Structure 1
């Protein structure tokens, strides 16, 4: 077991930190009728998540890396519950009330949820694959959850190539737009279930809510 005080050379945290800020900003500016939790909760979550990432960036401390992993996983679970409530609310609005009166609001809300869906699942993929970024940086032999083309064809990548957050962001974007694996293949059951969940949220958001809102715009 690694010493909690040891340091590990890890990737910079600016990209995932920016993704978290974008997710929480989108939730904060959603119209009131599709907010499943108060705005102040978003700002509190931002502090809880970003502080460990700042400490990891400055110190690369193994204990804070574990704390970072826990809070990001909790953020992902909270996001899924929050998104389910927001989608149910918007579908209820479309079903029970004429969407013409709120078409623009529904469209902006659905696009915000779609972007947050991509960014949040990208964070989850980044933290789950092979035990997270710190585990990958330390050279742990944990089996991967996703097979990247650079790993399948090492002749096209550097010998010490490892996926970074932007690689998982591409994975999250492709899953939300193609509704299926593209160049990165899921290898474990949890990876497959997460991608199915992200595709389902994306499909409901775009096909049911966004498409109906677009049709209702005068």
Structure 2
């Protein structure tokens, strides 16, 4: 039988770490981006997540660091999800209450920041929730999947030890934000369906209301 800790040990942490750094860099260079959360809070939470990922990489199979990583990512997702929703509400308020003063560049950069952050936040959540996340796979907290991937439905087309990793959940988050519905990955639990509904709603409002308004006012 396969050792669960070995399964977690085989999953690299550089893809989610690189995704977090990419989003932080994107938010830093976007012009006239609307900020509701202090920058030091965003950077502090992201730094805490990156530190725990480094610790998990150096101390492979360590249940304590996996638990800390899970807690840090959940905190990161909660902070960024709340900030994303607040920024979206603020942008909609700007459009509806002050349309003559709306700046197209500010709307475009803010809508891009909201959309990208939305995809990353929910991708990290999906990764940590499905099957109990890396911590649950070692601790044995949960073995039931929240999503059905096509590889699991067609085992003859893939290797016997295949399991979803962060990049699979990043693809799930991207498809949910662009298609506004399940694509090749099907939600199996109610919490999975609710999370996908929330991500789709944020993405839909961002693209239809904010981005459409920004394009409309471009000269």
Structure 1 length normalisation: TM-score? 0.90
CA 1:153–1:105: 2 relative to 1, 3 Å: same
CA 1:38–1:131: 2 relative to 1, 3 Å: same
**Displacement of 1:88:** 1.1
The separation in 2 between residues aligned to 1:99 and 1:106, in whole angstroms, is: 13
The separation in 1 between residues aligned to 2:132 and 2:28, in whole angstroms, is: 31
The separation in 2 between residues aligned to 1:161 and 1:137, in whole angstroms, is: 16
**Displacement of 1:59:** 1.1
Counterpart in the other structure of 1:11: 11
**Displacement of 1:29:** 4.7
Counterpart in the other structure of 2:165: 164
Given that residues 136 and 162 in structure 1 are in contact (C-alpha distance below 8 angstroms), is that contact kept between their aligned partners in structure 2?
A: no
Counterpart in the other structure of 1:120: 121
**Displacement of 1:37:** 1.1
Deviations 1:64-96 (A, max 9, x none): 000000110111111111011101111111112
Given that residues 27 and 42 in structure 1 are in contact (C-alpha distance below 8 angstroms), is that contact kept between their aligned partners in structure 2?
A: no
RMSD value over aligned CA atoms? 2.1
Counterpart in the other structure of 1:45: 45
Specify every segment of 5 or more residues in structure 2 that has no aligned partner in the other structure, as ranges: none
Q: Answer with 38-47 or 122-131: which moved more.
A: 38-47
Deviations 1:153-210 (A, max 9, x none): 1001100001111110110010000000000000001100000000000001000000
Counterpart in the other structure of 1:35: 35
The separation in 1 between residues aligned to 2:33 and 2:21, in whole angstroms, is: 22
Given that residues 147 and 187 in structure 1 are in contact (C-alpha distance below 8 angstroms), is that contact kept between their aligned partners in structure 2?
A: yes
Counterpart in the other structure of 2:59: 59
Specify every segment of 5 or more residues in structure 1 that has no aligned partner in the other structure, as ranges: 1-5
Given that residues 149 and 184 in structure 2 are in contact (C-alpha distance below 8 angstroms), is that contact kept between their aligned partners in structure 1?
A: yes
Alignment of 1:180-191 (within 5 A): 180-191=181-192
The separation in 2 between residues aligned to 1:149 and 1:216, in whole angstroms, is: 42
Aligned residues: 213
Given that residues 23 and 120 in structure 1 are in contact (C-alpha distance below 8 angstroms), is that contact kept between their aligned partners in structure 2?
A: no
Given that residues 172 and 185 in structure 2 are in contact (C-alpha distance below 8 angstroms), is that contact kept between their aligned partners in structure 1?
A: yes
Given that residues 32 and 105 in structure 2 are in contact (C-alpha distance below 8 angstroms), is that contact kept between their aligned partners in structure 1?
A: no
CA 1:89–1:141: 2 relative to 1, 3 Å: closer
Deviations 1:2-59 (A, max 9, x none): xxxx885241100011122223334445566721111111221122111010000111
